[in-house]
């Protein structure tokens, strides 16, 4: 008869050696699958300003911790509510820049829960399905936006200038692709900073782009940095 580690953790009794081995295997399985999730996230993510290398570590830790928590809770409703109350003390204030990151967080949580409850076959099927979907969507959309090799372009223009249309026209001529990612005022409201993600043409140098944009009327300064 298969061993259910949640039974021992829910009753509070000391788990037998067989149960300890089973629990350890669930954690190791969760770790292995979390590493696959992290690798998939890294392989299918465009290296733009939303990419955070430490997020892969978060995915692995999250899956493993969810596996452990699931085994601690077991079938105890009281213990589940106690853990929810304890975890509610934590406040996460980091804003997720890409909604795709949220999907990978849920992905890691689901895999961790499946491994923690011993549904390893379900976890493996979900892992394969999620990774294949991420790879498929990446291959279908990788050419639709600024992809790998992106640069961060910040252009400061005088507030009230009518150079926005000329600026975008110059960008179309100077770079291979661009996407506006934000805007803000500066110099106590006397100027505005426009932020873009751009991909340079193979034959274009960064200095040439900066020089071209800096000659436009109304442009105060131009900053171009590799992401």
To which H or E segment does residue 185 belong? strand 177-186
Q: CB within 8 A of 120, min separation 6: which ones? A: 26, 29, 114
Contact call for residues 73 and 79 (beta carbons, < 8 A): yes
**Residue spans in the chain of domains classed CATH 3.30.70.260:** 151-226
Of 63, 62, 61, 59, the C-alpha closest to 41 is 59
CA distance 104 to 100: 7
CA distance 57 to 19: 28
Residue 150 tokens, joined: 């992106």
Instruction: Answer whether residue 6 shows pLDDT above 70.
Output: no
Q: What pLDDT does residue 146 have? A: 46
147 pLDDT tier (thresholds 50, 70, 90): very low
Residue 148 tokens, joined: 């790998």
Superfamily of domain 151-226 in the CATH hierarchy: ACT domain (3.30.70.260)
Instruction: Answer whether residue 127 shows pLDDT above 50.
Output: yes
Q: What pLDDT does residue 95 have? A: 63
- Condensed to tens digits (0 to 9), the pLDDT of residues 18-43 reads 778 888 999 999 999 999 999 999 88
Contact call for residues 40 and 135 (beta carbons, < 8 A): yes
């Amino acid at each position: 008869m298969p061993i259910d580690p949640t039974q021992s953790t829910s009753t509070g009794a000391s788990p037998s050696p067989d149960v300890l081995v089973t629990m350890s295997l669930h954690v190791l399985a969760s770790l292995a699958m979390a590493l696959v999730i992290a690798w998939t996230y890294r392989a299918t993510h465009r290296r733009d300003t939303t990419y955070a290398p430490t997020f892969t570590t978060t995915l692995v830790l999250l899956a493993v911790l969810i596996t452990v928590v699931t085994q601690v809770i077991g079938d105890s409703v009281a213990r589940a509510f106690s853990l929810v109350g304890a975890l509610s003390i934590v406040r996460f204030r980091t804003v997720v820049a890409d909604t795709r990151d949220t999907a990978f967080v849920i992905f890691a949580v689901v895999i961790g829960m499946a491994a923690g409850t011993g549904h390893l076959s379900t976890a493996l099927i979900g892992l394969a399905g999620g990774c294949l979907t991420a790879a498929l969507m990446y291959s279908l959309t990788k050419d639709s936006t600024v992809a790998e090799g992106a640069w961060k372009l910040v252009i400061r223009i005088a507030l009230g200038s009518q150079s926005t249309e000329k600026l975008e026209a110059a960008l179309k001529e100077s770079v291979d692709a661009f996407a506006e990612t934000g805007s803000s005022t500066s110099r106590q409201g006397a100027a505005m900073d426009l932020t873009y993600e751009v991909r340079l043409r193979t034959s274009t140098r960064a200095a040439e782009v900066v020089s071209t944009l800096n000659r436009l009327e109304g442009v105060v300064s131009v900053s171009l940095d590799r992401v």
